[in-house]
Amino acid sequence: MQVISFGQAVDRAIEDAMVRDETIVLIGEDVPMLRAPLFARFGADRVLAAPISEAAFFGAAAGAAMAGLRPVVELYMVDFIAVALDAILNHIAKLEAFSGGKWRAPLVVRAPSGAGYGDGGQHGQSLWGSLASIPGLTVVVASTPADAYGLMTTALAHDGPVIFMEPKLLSEECLEFLGRGGRDTVTFDVPADGGRGVVPDPPHAIPFGSAAVRREGADLTIASVAVGVHRALAAAAILESDGISCEVLDLRSLRPLDVKTVVASVGKTGRLLAVDEDYREYGLSGELAAVCLEAGLSPRFDRVCVEDTLPYARHLEKAALPNVDRIIRAARELVNA
Amino acid sequence: MQVISFGQAVDRAIEDAMVRDETIVLIGEDVPMLRAPLFARFGADRVLAAPISEAAFFGAAAGAAMAGLRPVVELYMVDFIAVALDAILNHIAKLEAFSGGKWRAPLVVRAPSGAGYGDGGQHGQSLWGSLASIPGLTVVVASTPADAYGLMTTALAHDGPVIFMEPKLLSEECLEFLGRGGRDTVTFDVPADGGRGVVPDPPHAIPFGSAAVRREGADLTIASVAVGVHRALAAAAILESDGISCEVLDLRSLRPLDVKTVVASVGKTGRLLAVDEDYREYGLSGELAAVCLEAGLSPRFDRVCVEDTLPYARHLEKAALPNVDRIIRAARELVNA
Amino acid sequence: MDLPHLYRQMLRARAYELAVEDLWNHGFISGEMHLGTGEEAVAAGVVTQLGDGDGLALTHRCSPALVVRGVPLAPMLRELLGAEDGLCGGRGGHMHLFSKEHLAATSGIVGASLPTAAGFALANSRLRPGAIAVAFTGAGAMNQGMALETLNLAVAWRLPLVIICIDNGWAITTTSDSVTGGSLVERAQGFGMRAETVNGRDVRAVYKAAAKQIERARCGKGPSFLLATCPRLDGHFLGDPLIRMANKPIAEGKKVFGSVLSSVVSRGGGGLADRAGGVTQMMSVMAKARRSGTRERRGDPILAVYKTMNKHEAERDRIDAEVAAEIEAAVAEALADVGEGSDG
Amino acid sequence: MDLPHLYRQMLRARAYELAVEDLWNHGFISGEMHLGTGEEAVAAGVVTQLGDGDGLALTHRCSPALVVRGVPLAPMLRELLGAEDGLCGGRGGHMHLFSKEHLAATSGIVGASLPTAAGFALANSRLRPGAIAVAFTGAGAMNQGMALETLNLAVAWRLPLVIICIDNGWAITTTSDSVTGGSLVERAQGFGMRAETVNGRDVRAVYKAAAKQIERARCGKGPSFLLATCPRLDGHFLGDPLIRMANKPIAEGKKVFGSVLSSVVSRGGGGLADRAGGVTQMMSVMAKARRSGTRERRGDPILAVYKTMNKHEAERDRIDAEVAAEIEAAVAEALADVGEGSDG
Ligand SMILES: Cc1ncc(C[n+]2csc(CCOP(=O)(O)OP(=O)(O)O)c2C)c(N)n1
Ligand SMILES: Cc1ncc(C[n+]2csc(CCOP(=O)(O)OP(=O)(O)O)c2C)c(N)n1
Ligand SMILES: [Mg+2]
Ligand SMILES: [Mg+2]
């Protein structure tokens, strides 16, 4: 049992798998420096620096996966997936279907996501909703080091394509690189249990499609992923003193979604608050509403999400993100109205 | 009053607007031939043939819109937006927010969408759910020639970016080009009222965010867009003889969504069937569920959507699309269960 | 270079396409069916040089290369028919034919064959040294970002990749040169890539040029680019309106020109020069389509290779007969149980 | 060429950046702050030649060009501070500075300045003949598909576009040449575009080279590409770990090397050669960063232009004083009410 950082947990899951499986290669811009320990251990043959050509190296990673490698392909941030989407949407996600089930290709996309360090609207999106809408993909989002290790381990053993999202605000390494830059004059609202945590030893893989109940409660289900889970837990602690008992679900896997756990929880509490750092409309919050209605539930429902392009100014950004205040307000309204 | 085809209606709306407004230009692959009448009337200065470089010419169209033109930029099919998404997601959609509201840019994306003519899974997607999740965009989908004219006219007068989706199965011109190719040995299940129809004279613009109630009913609301609307109407006619009275909504505009009309209808019927040619998860059907729950409604709910990569074979494709049979089955279950 | 073998492969590809055309005309094949007629010399000249482990990434115009590669014909045809026992279970279709066994993939997205092949090449360099990958691409596709990026990527990573770019003069209704700056060979060279041009109608020339590039790739000397010029014999796809207009200018042309003419004479719009310019350009595209699109025998590579086989007349006759029989059998097998896949 | 004017513009750009650095160090600026120190000669040499209606599309490293273009300084600074009366209401930020009035736009997406500028050029060709557009881009960005596509698009459409590509040798921690095939000038020429290279530290050379290309564009002779080589004085962004390591190798390097070393000696993984290769390459990147990243005065274009102003000493002193005062005033104005925009 060892307390490590979120970023270390991801790196370690990759490192451990690379030792076991020689077909795993790492591809991305600057990976020799960004993943220096891996580069030093496995060399330039397995840790490949790419030009700023996401469309080509994502497409190539897909081809390499079809031909027997297991590439982990990195984006600097998920926002930049827009230049490489074709490889994902029209190629890697469709291979299994197009080949009549005869050809599957293992590919893990490692994509830092999310805001909270004042980098503006092109560098703080989550976009998991849109990605999770694509048949043929698996989309997972970890919120703790243990889950990061466990989900990445499962991803690396999976025979189809997986999008692994890595919330930047939980990664000390990302934050240091993109936000702090060695200063002690800035602060970030990093959820303590997200940024560092125990990874069990030996660490275990976490299956896709299994949500975690982070806190049990009776009055209200708050379902979220990533940073939102920690905001929800913080809100739940405060709401408790109001006499509102919240159940907090960490969905972890958006595609497949753990419908059973969601339905069981909402069936019990009768109320659902979706907390999502991705955009509000046509995304995760809607999907949660749909699976509840499909299950015959009719919960009281609200959602705390990002509603517009993320603003740069830190006070505006904070207000735009699903923060503890917004969650508390919405929760109170749901329970008291 | 004149009966014209869906494709003619779109072209005519553009042609009429191009006469009124000299800043409208048309950009796309093959547009001199695909839009021959416009090319012949307005010349190569206003109807620009583009290389197969969607990322560049979408980005350029965005720049041109910022600098005073009103580009209509064409995709062969919305599936190909994957190579040009960055211009839309990270640039044109965010301009207004990024500039603090000081800069808006008028741009219309004309994107044929949808399946039904056996062209395989990279050429039959709808993808409007993902597009409608992006703040800063307007996303509209017409289902009749009159609406096509009306929505395109509104789009061309709008000061921000608009995605205008043109269901291929409703466009004789698209179908002839992509599917029939002069043969009389193939048939397509084209909804009669979608493919041809009356465009009022003078035609009128249709405001964004206004759904149309295509059929009134008491037991069940079926909400859809594009071809789905026609399938729903056909199903409703059959369900009527079962004693099931369906209200059919044509949403027309996905962003903004006409929440009021949806809520009013579902409030009345207490049942909602979402019919969507786009993917089932994390899309339109979920958003409809969410707006109902948010409004305090708790309808019985189901959805008939595309659940996987669209198969090529026409019998498999037909089964995968929201067809009349699937709608009828779902509707009966909703009403009788 | 085994000329009879190349002849046989070209003929197989052509005969396959003619069978496809027939099936398409009868309504057994849906959507956009792109034929590779006219490209047989390139397919044969390149693909006969591939062996075990070599990868092949193709475009919407993929049949000649797949036929030459030895992908079984009846399953391919059944795939086009939409049969659930087709090559891809009827789920892929004409633009999405996959054979894992042959490391062969196709895509309907213009430009996508390059990154895919680069990935095949990367995996081969790690897993099967000496094995390479080949991308086929159209010339129009060389304006697509991912294709251009791949020129650089392949050089930067020194991939065992050979890019075969077929310039048939067209991208659907647009003549390639009207939207393409510079020359594609110089473009590839500008990325530091070996590049040359070859007459794509001449199977021997293609074979030789490809042999050099394939050899380089196999020895780890990096990627190269071969521009093969080639006629487009059948328009962009079956039913191409330009070709129909070229063949029946009055009946087919009328439909288009009716609306064009009414637009041209409408009030409002461009000045006289703009309008005249537009119409002139359209006429010239049409005229070019007519010249190139009428199965002009002169440009047909099959004819050229047929002549070179004059010395081997008996063998040629035998090959002709065997290929005809092979394709006939494949079609018969494909059509064995046809109800399911056909229209609707 | 008005050398004192160029000198003033370069100095303004530099002084602005130094002020930004100071604000950043104090925690007033969040996220990634990319300075354009070292690029002032390019900004001044090109942007002083722009006039009414000309468009300007920039990258994440945008300040020098915006300062020279005359975008008001205090609102720009207030934008960086996140103030709601900043240039973009605090909603854009350092990578998204927009001035509609100046037809100036920036983007944090690598490569995006090219298509945007192409669009500005297109609109200008239609609406304001004689007006042009300029794209600034980094050399690393010239591997991005949309940038490459735009080389072709601009030629095909004969756009009044000038592309200024700054080669500072780096893309974050990657040396540009290690992932770039060929030479960028030949690459642009391969698309049929006029292209040349210039010493980006020499403002007079930049001015002259840009003048020719801008003139061509204004006369409708089409696009061109100017590769300006230029040092990177301050690393990729403020707080760049490579620079910090270069400056404090022991304190900063330790953090990185601890985990690297423990990986290097772990069981499993690559062979000795692979490991040695990895470590060697990392050391060499670090060494290069140290050489280029220590504000080495030799490469500083400000120093060069300062010397050329030796003949105009009095004027130089006056300019120095005026610029210092201007920036000081802008900072003071920007900081007037600082609570709101600051950290958190
Ligand atoms: C990204 C993308 N854009 C557009 C299309 C539509 N499209 C299909 S084929 C084609 C022309 C391709 O021309 P070329 O590469 O020369 O190949 P050819 O058809 O001439 O063999 C186009 C534009 C597409 N399939 N994918
Ligand atoms: C599409 C995209 N990919 C990656 C990044 C991350 N990124 C930001 S700047 C940069 C390096 C750019 O190098 P160059 O173009 O040479 O400009 P420089 O920073 O050297 O001025 C990268 C990779 C990005 N912003 N956008
Ligand atoms: Mg072509
Ligand atoms: Mg650089």
ipTM for the predicted complex comes to: 0.97
D130 falls within a domain: yes
User: Do residues D24 and D82 touch, judged by C-beta distance below 8 A?
Assistant: no
The verdict on B148 and B217 lying in the same domain is no
D83: Cβ–Cβ under 8 A, 6 or more apart, which residues? Answer: A313, D90, D334, D337, D340, D341
Residue A44 to residue A31: CA distance in whole angstroms: 10
A204 falls within a domain: no
Eight-state DSSP code of residue A260: H
The verdict on A193 and A305 lying in the same domain is no
Give the lowest-confidence range in B36-50, D281-295, D321-335: D281-295
A chain contacts of residue C96, beta-carbon cutoff 8 Å = 94, 98
A chain contacts of residue B299, beta-carbon cutoff 8 Å = 293, 298
B chain contacts of residue A135, beta-carbon cutoff 8 Å = 279, 307-309
pLDDT tens digit string along B97-133? Answer: 999 999 999 999 999 999 999 999 999 999 999 999 9
Share of chain B above pLDDT 90, in %: 98
The verdict on D19 and D108 lying in the same domain is yes
Mind telling me how many Å the CA of C19 is from chain B's nearest CA? 16
Share of chain A above pLDDT 90, in %: 98
A chain contacts of residue D244, beta-carbon cutoff 8 Å = 182
User: Using 50, 70 and 90 to split pLDDT, how confident is the model at D341?
Assistant: very low
B65: Cβ–Cβ under 8 A, 6 or more apart, which residues? Answer: B71, B92, B105, B106, B107, B161, D119
Please name which ligand lies nearest the alpha carbon of A28. Answer: 2
- pLDDT for residue D303 is more than 80: yes
User: Using 50, 70 and 90 to split pLDDT, how confident is the model at D295?
Assistant: low
The verdict on A178 and A228 lying in the same domain is no
Among A39, A52, A121, the residue with its CB nearest the CB of D144 is A52
pLDDT tens digit string along D68-123? Answer: 999 999 999 999 999 999 999 999 999 999 999 999 999 999 999 999 999 999 99
Residue holding tokens 């005809």?
Answer: C324
More reliable by pLDDT, B148 or B202: B148
Residue B132 to residue A282, Cβ atoms within 8 A: yes
Q: Quote the mean pLDDT of chain A.
A: 97
The verdict on A37 and A138 lying in the same domain is yes
List the helix and strand counts (H, then E) for chain D: 13, 8
Helix (H) or strand (E) holding B306: strand B300-306
User: Using 50, 70 and 90 to split pLDDT, how confident is the model at B273?
Assistant: very high
Pocket test for ligand 2, best of D37, D110, D142 (most atoms within 8 A of CB): D110
Q: Which CATH number do you get for residue B271?
A: 3.40.50.920
- Select from C99, C28, C25 the least CA-distant residue to C62: C99
**Adjacency order of strands within the sheet including B253-255:** B47-49, B24-28, B70-74, B107-113, B161-167, B138-141, B253-255
Q: From the CA of D172, how far away is ligand 2's center (Å)?
A: 7
For ligand 1, is residue C36 a contact (CB within 6 Å)?
no
The verdict on C159 and C274 lying in the same domain is no
User: Using 50, 70 and 90 to split pLDDT, how confident is the model at D205?
Assistant: very high
- pLDDT for residue A5 is more than 50: yes
Measured CA distances, B208 to B150, B157, B197, B284 (Å):
10, 11, 21, 17
The verdict on B52 and B155 lying in the same domain is yes
User: Using 50, 70 and 90 to split pLDDT, how confident is the model at D339?
Assistant: low
Q: How many domains does chain B have?
A: 2
- pLDDT for residue D280 is more than 50: yes
Q: Which CATH number do you get for residue A183?
A: 3.40.50.970
Residue A103 to residue C98, Cβ atoms within 8 A: yes
- Of B199, B223, B238, the one marking the end of a domain is B199
Residue D260 to residue A313, Cβ atoms within 8 A: no
Which alpha helices (H) appear in chain B, and where do they start and end?
A: 6-20, 31-34, 36-42, 54-66, 85-86, 95-98, 128-132, 145-157, 172-175, 192-195, 227-241, 259-269, 284-294, 314-320, 324-336
Residue B133 to residue B142: CA distance in whole angstroms: 18
A233 falls within a domain: yes
- pLDDT for residue D293 is more than 70: no
Whether residue A123 lies in the annotated active site: yes
Measured CA distances, C256 to B196, C62, C230 (Å):
18, 30, 28
For ligand 2, is residue A42 a contact (CB within 6 Å)?
no
Question: DSSP secondary structure string, A154-173?
Answer: HHHH-SSEEEEEEEGGG-HH
CB pairs < 8 Å spanning B and C? 205
- pLDDT for residue C255 is more than 90: no
C344 falls within a domain: no
The verdict on C71 and C146 lying in the same domain is yes
Q: Quote the mean pLDDT of chain B.
A: 97
The verdict on B189 and B99 lying in the same domain is yes
Residue C16 to residue A237: CA distance in whole angstroms: 70
**Average pLDDT of D265-290?**
81
**Average pLDDT of D236-242?**
92
A41 close contact with D: CB closer than 8 A: yes
Say which amino acid occupies B319. Answer: A
C340 falls within a domain: no
B207 falls within a domain: no
C339 falls within a domain: no
pLDDT tens digit string along D14-55? Answer: 999 999 999 999 999 999 999 999 999 999 999 999 999 999
Q: What is the largest CA-CA distance in chain B?
A: 60
Predicted pLDDT of residue C294: 52
- Select from D43, D19, D153, C73 the least CA-distant residue to B53: D153
Among D108, D140, D281, the residue with its CB nearest the CB of A32 is D281
- Select from B185, B118, B179, B173 the least CA-distant residue to B321: B118
More reliable by pLDDT, C231 or C214: C214
- pLDDT for residue A1 is more than 70: no
Residue A185 to residue D275, Cβ atoms within 8 A: no
- pLDDT for residue A272 is more than 70: yes
The verdict on B195 and B225 lying in the same domain is no
Please name which ligand lies nearest the alpha carbon of C37. Answer: 1
Mind telling me how many Å the CA of C98 is from chain A's nearest CA? 6
**Using N-to-C axis directions, what is the helix angle for D40-47 and D301-308, rounded to 10°?**
60
D341 falls within a domain: no
The verdict on A170 and A225 lying in the same domain is no
Strand partners, A249: A213, A223
Please name which ligand lies nearest the alpha carbon of D36. Answer: 2
User: Using 50, 70 and 90 to split pLDDT, how confident is the model at B168?
Assistant: very high
The verdict on D249 and D132 lying in the same domain is no
**Average pLDDT of C256-280?**
81
Give long-range contacts, CB 8 A cutoff, 24+ apart: C317-326: C319/C4, C319/C7, C319/C8, C319/C11, C320/C11, C322/C8, C323/C8, C323/C11, C323/C12, C323/C15, C324/C15, C326/C12, C326/C15, C326/C73
- Select from C342, C298, C260, C242 the least CA-distant residue to C38: C298
For ligand 2, is residue A29 a contact (CB within 6 Å)?
yes
Q: Which CATH number do you get for residue C229?
A: 3.40.50.970
Question: DSSP secondary structure string, A262-316?
Answer: HHHHHHHHSEEEEEEEEESTTSHHHHHHHHHHHTT---EEEEEEE-SSPPSSHHH
Strand partners, D197: D227
Parent domain of C151: 3-233+300-334
Residue nearest to atom 5 of ligand 2 (CA): D110
The verdict on D249 and D307 lying in the same domain is no
- Select from A79, A80, A65, A83 the least CA-distant residue to A27: A65
Predicted pLDDT of residue B295: 98
For ligand 1, is residue B79 a contact (CB within 6 Å)?
no
For ligand 2, is residue D78 a contact (CB within 6 Å)?
no
Residue C189 to residue D188, Cβ atoms within 8 A: no
For ligand 2, is residue D125 a contact (CB within 6 Å)?
no
Residue B309 to residue C142: CA distance in whole angstroms: 28
D chain contacts of residue C151, beta-carbon cutoff 8 Å = 181
Predicted pLDDT of residue C244: 85
Query: Which sign, positive or negative, has the C-alpha torsion B180, B182, B185, B187?
Result: positive
User: Which of these is catalytic: B123, B158, B204, B230?
Assistant: B123
B240 falls within a domain: yes
- pLDDT for residue C279 is more than 90: no
- pLDDT for residue D244 is more than 90: no
- Show the tokens assigned to C204: 């021997």
Predicted pLDDT of residue D273: 84
Say if strands A220-224 and A246-250 run parallel, antiparallel, or are unpaired.
parallel
Strand, helix or coil for residue A6? helix
Share of chain A above pLDDT 70, in %: 100
Residue D91 to residue A313, Cβ atoms within 8 A: yes
Eight-state DSSP code of residue B311: P
- Of A167, A199, A231, the one marking the end of a domain is A199
The verdict on C177 and C261 lying in the same domain is no
Residue B104 to residue A107: CA distance in whole angstroms: 39
Q: From the CA of D232, how far away is ligand 2's center (Å)?
A: 14
C343 falls within a domain: no
The verdict on D225 and D208 lying in the same domain is yes
B326 falls within a domain: yes
The verdict on B175 and B62 lying in the same domain is yes
Q: What is the distance in angstroms between the CA of the first residue and the CA of the last residue of chain D?
A: 46
The verdict on B185 and B217 lying in the same domain is no
Predicted pLDDT of residue C291: 65
Residue nearest to atom 16 of ligand 1 (CA): C140
pLDDT tens digit string along C158-203? Answer: 999 999 999 999 999 999 899 999 999 999 999 999 999 999 999 9
User: Using 50, 70 and 90 to split pLDDT, how confident is the model at D344?
Assistant: very low
Residue B73 to residue B111: CA distance in whole angstroms: 9
Strand partners, A72: A26, A108
- At C43, give phi and psi (nearest 5°): -60, -50
Which class for D303: exposed (0-12), middle (13-18), buried (19 or more C-beta within 10 A)? exposed
Ligand 2 atom having least distance to the Cα of D142: 15
**Virtual torsion, Cα C61, C63, C69, C70, nearest 10 deg:** 160
Helix (H) or strand (E) holding D259: helix D249-264
Residue holding tokens 């503890």?
Answer: A324
Predicted pLDDT of residue D292: 61
pLDDT tens digit string along A214-250? Answer: 999 999 999 999 999 999 999 999 999 999 999 999 9
**Average pLDDT of B184-193?**
95
D141 close contact with B: CB closer than 8 A: no
C286 falls within a domain: yes
- pLDDT for residue A35 is more than 90: yes
The verdict on C285 and C221 lying in the same domain is no
Residue A267 to residue A297: CA distance in whole angstroms: 7
User: Do residues D219 and D190 touch, judged by C-beta distance below 8 A?
Assistant: no
Alpha carbon D173 to its chain centroid, in Å, reads 16
User: Do residues A131 and A137 touch, judged by C-beta distance below 8 A?
Assistant: yes
The verdict on A241 and A322 lying in the same domain is yes
Residue nearest to atom 12 of ligand 1 (CA): C171
A207 falls within a domain: no
Q: How many domains does chain C have?
A: 2
B220 falls within a domain: yes
Say if strands B300-306 and B246-250 run parallel, antiparallel, or are unpaired.
unpaired
What HEC string does chain C produce? Answer: CCHHHHHHHHHHHHHHHHHHHHHHHCCCCCCCCCCCCCCHHHHHHHHCCCCCCCEEEECCCCHHHHHHHCCCHHHHHHHHHCCCCCCCCCCCCCCCCCEHHHCEEECCCCCCHHHHHHHHHHHHHHHCCCCCEEEEEECHHHHCHHHHHHHHHHHHCCCCEEEEEEECCEECCEEHHHHCCCCHHHHHHHCCCEEEEEECCCHHHHHHHHHHHHHHHHCCCCCEEEEEECCCCCCCCCCCHHHHHHHCHHHHHHHHHHHHHHHHCCCCCCCHHHHHHHHHHHHHHHHHHHHHCCCCHHHCHHHHHHHHHHHHHHHHHHHHHHHHHHHHHHHHHHHCCCCCCCCC
C164: Cβ–Cβ under 8 A, 6 or more apart, which residues? Answer: C42, C46, C134, C135, C136, C137, C210, C226, C228
Parent domain of A303: 212-336
Chains contacting D with at least 3 CB pairs below 8 Å?
A, B, C
User: Using 50, 70 and 90 to split pLDDT, how confident is the model at C342?
Assistant: very low
Strand partners, C171: C174
D63 falls within a domain: yes
The verdict on A318 and A256 lying in the same domain is yes
- pLDDT for residue C344 is more than 50: no
User: Do residues B316 and B221 touch, judged by C-beta distance below 8 A?
Assistant: no
Give the lowest-confidence range in A18-27, C324-333, D298-307: D298-307
**Average pLDDT of B313-322?**
98
The verdict on D280 and D181 lying in the same domain is no
The verdict on D200 and D83 lying in the same domain is yes
D276: Cβ–Cβ under 8 A, 6 or more apart, which residues? Answer: none
> Which of the residues D180, D191, D193 would you substitute to probe the C interface, choosing the one with the greatest number of C C-beta atoms within 10 Å?
D191
Measured CA distances, D92 to A314, B94, D63, D115 (Å):
11, 9, 14, 20
- HSE-up (13 A, CA, CB side) for residue A42: 25
- Show the tokens assigned to C111: 């430009």
- Of B199, B232, B257, the one marking the end of a domain is B199
